[in-house]
Amino acid sequence: MPWASSAGRVAVLVPCFNEAAAVGDVVDDLRAALPDATVYVYDNASTDGTAAVAAAHGAVVRREPVPGKGNVVRRAFADVDADVYVLVDGDDTYDATAVADLVEVLLSGPYDHVVGARRARTGTAYRPGHAAGNRALNRVVGLVFGADTTDMLSGYRVMSRRFVKTFPARSRGFEVETELTVHATALRVPQVEVPVGFRDRPAGSESKLRTVRDGLRILGWVARLAHSERPLVLHAPLAAVLVAGAALLGSPLAAALLGGLAVATGLVLDGVRRGRQESLRLAYLQLPVPGGPSRPGGPGAPLVGEPLGALAAPRPRVPAGT
C-alpha cells in the first residue's frame, strides 16, 4: 500500500530468541511494507547468530540479556522513542506484509491498541492444544476483566505512544500479551482487532512456548492482575467461601470476621486501583493522539486520498470502550 511519512516515527520491535532461520525474512517484509520505519530486533541472548542475520538484513540490533519476552518488551518500550509502535514476533508466523494496514487502522481510528487476531492458513499453524488453550484463556480474561477479545495471546500488535508509555510492563515472559490486553481494558483505551494471516514456522525455527508450563504461568498472571485490577471480583467470592466455611464449622463470629476482612481488603485494594488508574489516565492524556495535530487533516484523517478496499469494509470486532 502507499505509505506516507506523515504517520510520524514508526518503530517496529521484534523480540527474538534463536530465530536466525526466520528473522531475515521478517525484517525484509517489514522494511518493504514500512520503508520509513525503523526495525529494531531485540536479541534475547540468542546463541544461533540471530543478531548477525538481523543486522545483515538492515535491522537495528539491540540486546536484552535477561531471558523472557516480557523483559524484552519492558526494555524496548523504555528505550525506543516513537509515535507508533509495532510489536511482532521474529518467527515469521505472522503476515508481516500486513503491517502497513494495521498502522493505518491505528491512525484512522484513531485507536491506541490494534491487535492482529490470528487466522490460521494451515491446519498445522497452531501447535496441538494451543488454539484450545487460547480460546479458554480468552474466556477467562473476558469473564474477569470484561475484555472483548478473540486472541489475547497474539504477538502482533500496533500501539500508540500514549499506550506504550503508560504500560507498566511488569511481566517477565510470555505473560506480556495478557498484561497488554488487561492494560488496554483497564485504561479503557480505543482498541480493535484486525484479522491477520498466521502460518507454520519455517524450517529450522522452533517454538519457545511450552504449552502446560507457560499456560499455567499465564493463568497465574491473570490471578495476579485480578488482585490488582479487579480486587472486588476476587475478594467477594473469597469472602463468601470464608463465611460458608466458618458457618459450616459452627462459628458465626468467625464467619462475620473473616467475611468482613475479605470484603474490607477488597475495598481498600479497589481504592488503590482507582487512584493508580487515575494517575495512568492523566499521564496518558499528556501524550498526543495517534496521528497528532501535525498530520494533514488532523487526527483521524486518512493517509492517502483514496480509501483502501481492504480497509473500507467495517472491521469485524471493535471491543467495548472504544
Residues 96-117: tens digit of each pLDDT: 999 999 999 999 999 999 999 9
What does the pLDDT average to over 39-50?
Answer: 96
**Structural domain of 252:** 230-277
Least confident of 166-170, 176-180, 226-230, 246-250: 246-250
Residue 303, helix vs strand vs coil? coil
Q: Is residue 201 part of a domain?
A: yes
Domain check: are 291 and 143 in the same one?
A: yes
Q: Is the residue at 319 inside a domain?
A: no
298, 153: one domain: yes
pLDDT, position 318: 46
Greater pLDDT, 311 or 211: 211
Same domain, 39 and 74: yes
Could you tell me the three cell numbers for 146?
470484561
Q: Which of the given ranges, 2-11, 21-30, 228-237, 307-316, has the highest pLDDT on average?
A: 21-30
Residue 24 is assigned to a structural domain of this protein:
yes
What is the length of the chain?
A: 322
Residue 167, phi-psi category: left (phi > 0), alpha (psi -120 to 50), beta (remainder): beta
Q: What is the CATH number of the domain that holds 203?
A: 3.90.550.10
Q: pLDDT digits over 61-92, tens only?
A: 999 999 999 999 999 999 999 999 999 999 99
Structural domains counted in the chain = 2
d(CA 301, CA 266): 44
Asked if pLDDT for residue 260 goes beyond 50, the answer is: yes
Indicate whether 318 belongs to any domain. Answer: no
127 and 204 housed in the same domain: yes
Residues 143 and 42 in one domain: yes
Least confident of 14-23, 106-115, 213-222: 213-222
Give the pLDDT band (50/70/90) at residue 205: confident
Residue 1: band (very low, low, confident or very high) from pLDDT cuts 50, 70, 90:
very low
Task: Specify the pLDDT at position 139.
Answer: 94
| Average confidence (pLDDT) over 24-38 | 97
Instruction: Say what angle helices 211-229 and 130-145 make with each other, to 10 degrees.
Output: 10
| pLDDT for position 234 | 82
146 with 105, same domain: the answer is yes
Which helix (H) or strand (E) covers residue 192, if one does?
strand 191-198
Mean pLDDT of the chain: 86
| 8 A C-beta contact, residue 125 and residue 71 | no
Q: Are residues 119 and 98 in the same domain?
A: yes
Q: Checking DSSP bridges between strand 113-120 and strand 157-160, what pairing results, if any?
A: antiparallel
pLDDT at 67: 94
Q: Inform me whether the pLDDT recorded for 120 exceeds 70.
A: yes
Clarify whether residues 144 and 234 are in a common domain: no
Residue 112 sits in the same domain as residue 235: no
Specify if 295 maps to a domain: yes
Answer yes or no: are the C-beta atoms of 13 and 27 closer than 8 Å. Answer: no
The reply to whether 183 falls in a domain is yes
Q: Please tell me whether residues 21 and 51 are part of one structural domain.
A: yes
pLDDT of residue 313: 42
Residue 215 lies in a domain: yes
Q: Note whether residue 317 is domain-resident.
A: no
Reported as a single tens digit per residue, the pLDDT across 130-164 is 788 889 999 999 999 988 899 999 999 999 999 99
CA nearest to 90, candidates 130, 46, 134, 123: 46
Residues 6+ positions from 32 with CB-CB distance below 8 Å: 97
- My answer on whether 137 and 220 are in the same domain is yes
pLDDT of residue 252: 80
289 and 255 together in one domain: no
The H or E element that residue 114 is part of is strand 113-120
